[in-house]
Amino acid sequence: MKKDDLIISNKKYSSRLIVGTGKYKTMKECAKAIELSGAEIVTVAVRRVNILDKKKPLLMDYIDPKKITYLPNTAGCFNSKDALRTLRLAREIGGWRLVKLEVLGDKKNLFPEMIETLKSTEVLTKEGFKVMVYCNDDPLMAKRLENSGACAIMPLAAPIGSGLGILNKVNIRIIRKQTKLPLIIDAGLGQASDATIAMELGCDGVLVNTAIAKAKKPFEMALAFRNAVIAGRLSYISGRINKSLMGEPSSPEKGII
């Protein structure tokens, strides 16, 4: 098969699965699940994951940033000011410029606050950041984010951690059709088949955290998502058959004995 890499900000990745590092019982469990998932990018909540205090377990001791791309994110930020400060801190700590922007509107639903998100994207891109943006599934807002300089669009499938799967396939298809940027489903997936559906809709990748970390068997679920993303991608690029209301025989109609 022809090599089919995911390209984000001019860097190639073999895996189209991005995995979060939160909610696991231990960092050791987190590291093992990520290994099994085959992910080459992991999200790191700068405000929550320990990457500084050497007296406590450091994420770097379990996940090598030289082998796995760290994607600092702004989880827990509810306004542009906090998000900007968090990512500037990430740049100072580790020199990270490829980042995931996440500005939430409230603590109950965890929907993205799109006005603050758009404003933050404009500022960060001007400062030289490569911004992957968590957003709602509004095609118009996704286009505005693209025009503001985002390097990837990351619409939610459903509310964060809900496990509901993709609730609005139509909007995801529209966003796919109108953008040339990497389109990555972020938030709300619950099982491996959700990832397959996302990939069959034409998404370039999926980001998963809770569905793996909180599964009864995280290691098995990590492997399931790995295979699901591969299957969905192959299905999409293979080109599905047209849908029909009527049946069509599988065997030839001519030359029947």
255 within a domain of the structure (yes/no):
no
Look up residue 250 and give its DSSP letter: S
pLDDT above 90 as % of the chain: 68
State the amino acid at position 202 in one-letter form: G
* Domain carrying residue 167: 13-237
Residue 95 phi, psi dihedral angles, 5° rounding: 75, 15
Task: Look at the alpha carbons of 77, 142, 99, 122 in this order and tell me if their dihedral is positive or negative.
Answer: negative
pLDDT higher at 102 or 94: 102
Exactly one of 100, 107, 216, 243 is catalytic; name it.
100
Bridge-partner residues for 206, per DSSP? 17, 185
22 confidence band (pLDDT: 50, 70, 90): confident
Full strand arrangement of the beta sheet holding 184-186: 152-155, 130-135, 98-101, 69-73, 41-45, 17-20, 205-208, 184-186
171 within a domain of the structure (yes/no):
yes
Bridge-partner residues for 11, per DSSP? 8
pLDDT value of position 246: 79
What's 56's domain CATH number? 3.20.20.70
C-beta separation of 23 from 214 below 8 A: yes
Taking residues 240-255, report their average pLDDT: 76
255 confidence band (pLDDT: 50, 70, 90): low
Answer yes or no: pTM beyond 0.85: yes
Task: Look at the alpha carbons of 147, 98, 195, 3 in this order and tell me if their dihedral is positive or negative.
Answer: positive
Direct distance between the N- and C-terminal alpha carbons of the chain, in angstroms, rounded to an integer: 39
Asked if the model's pLDDT at residue 12 lies above 80, the reply is yes
183 within a domain of the structure (yes/no):
yes
212 within a domain of the structure (yes/no):
yes
248 within a domain of the structure (yes/no):
no
- Please tell me the distance from the alpha carbon of residue 255 to that of residue 248, in angstroms, as a whole number: 17
pLDDT value of position 63: 86
pLDDT higher at 170 or 63: 170
Instruction: Give which of 218, 222, 205 is closest to 15, Cα–Cα.
Output: 205
The structural domain count of the chain equals 1
Paired tokens of 107: 């603590």
Residue 204 class from Cβ within 10 Å (0-12 exposed, 13-18 middle, 19+ buried)?
buried
SS3 223: helix
5 within a domain of the structure (yes/no):
no
Tokens 């999409």: give the residue.
Answer: 236
C-beta separation of 69 from 41 below 8 A: yes
Catalytic annotation present for 100: yes
22 within a domain of the structure (yes/no):
yes
Residue 154 phi, psi dihedral angles, 5° rounding: -130, 75
- Please tell me the distance from the alpha carbon of residue 188 to that of residue 165, in angstroms, as a whole number: 6
257 within a domain of the structure (yes/no):
no
249 confidence band (pLDDT: 50, 70, 90): confident
Asked if the model's pLDDT at residue 14 lies above 70, the reply is yes
